[in-house]
Structure 1
Amino acid sequence: MSWTVWTYVVYLLVTVPLTVWVARTLSRNGKVFLEDVFAGNDRLAEAVNTLLVVGFYLLNLGFVSLFLRVDSTVVDVAGVFEQLSVKVGVVALVLGVLHFFNVYVFSAIRRRSRTEARRGAPMPPQAQVAAYGPVPPYAAPYPAPGR
């Protein structure tokens, strides 16, 4: 086998397990976060978690596959390490960016749901009138001056 083929093999042996490990870690630890985001709706959190993992695998493994090709011929062990450092580094950066994007989106959803939960429904006018009693027709809207 040529050094270029060895580069491909080592690249796949590093990036595919890295992708699987990151996906499992995000899924396991993200489940608790998603349950909080979706206000305890465990079925919805589990479904979204599964969809995120599938999308993560598709996106990242597709990127790993597209990024597999080496533009120049690798002629020695040093070339293998040079190519791998660039390729694995870019894959790790893409994994990190995808992770932070997901965290940002779900944090925004969480903030929005908490803001809506704190904001109660407005009280209907009838409830306010009932609480304070009817306003007599002879009452002036403002106190008289000098009183």
Structure 2
Amino acid sequence: MIQILSYSIYLLISSFITIYVGWKCYKHGHIYILHLVHDERISMAINKILLLGYYLLNIGYISWSLSTWQHVTALPDVTAQISMKVGFITSILCVLHYTNITVIYFLRRLFNHSKNNIP
């Protein structure tokens, strides 16, 4: 019973974090992509594809992490497992976010540089 409780708590927390962070990045990230491509329709399409990839990656990780879950028998074990799993998924989200920002920055520099070299 405690195993099911720990799964449920983990799924609630990780789902909330995934949906909340994904929606915020989707909502506020559109302006960065629009600044890069200068086309509203293309930037919305790119933003939607990034959101879809983000959700798929996180659903995959959450599913995989449930399969690697250790058996818990007491409340301290539940807390430790949930903390480890949520901490790891939060770290992954942080790395993905900063990777995306870095890629957009370099693409913007590359795109602006190539526009300046065209006669």
TM-score bracket, shorter-length normalisation: over 0.9
Superposition pairs for residues 46-125 of structure 1, below 5 Å? 46-69=44-67, 71-121=69-119
Matching of residue 37 in structure 1 with residue 36 in structure 2: yes
Whole-angstrom distance in 2 between the partners of 1:26 and 1:100: 11
Give SS of 1:51's match. Answer: helix
Whole-angstrom distance in 1 between the partners of 2:27 and 2:69: 37
- Name 2:11's counterpart in structure 1: 12
Q: Is the 8 A contact 1:7 1:84 kept in 2?
A: yes
1:32 is aligned with what amino acid? Answer: I
Question: What RMSD over aligned residues (CA atoms) do the two structures have, in Å?
Answer: 1.2
**TM, length-normalised to structure 1:** 0.76
Whole-angstrom distance in 2 between the partners of 1:25 and 1:71: 29
1:78 is aligned with what amino acid? Answer: P
Larger fraction in helix:
2
Larger radius of gyration: 1
Give SS of 1:5's match. Answer: helix
Percentage identity across aligned positions? 29
**TM, length-normalised to structure 2:** 0.93
Task: Give unpaired runs (5+ residues) of structure 1.
Answer: 122-147
Deviations 1:88-127 (A, max 9, x none): 0001011111111111211111111111222242xxxxxx
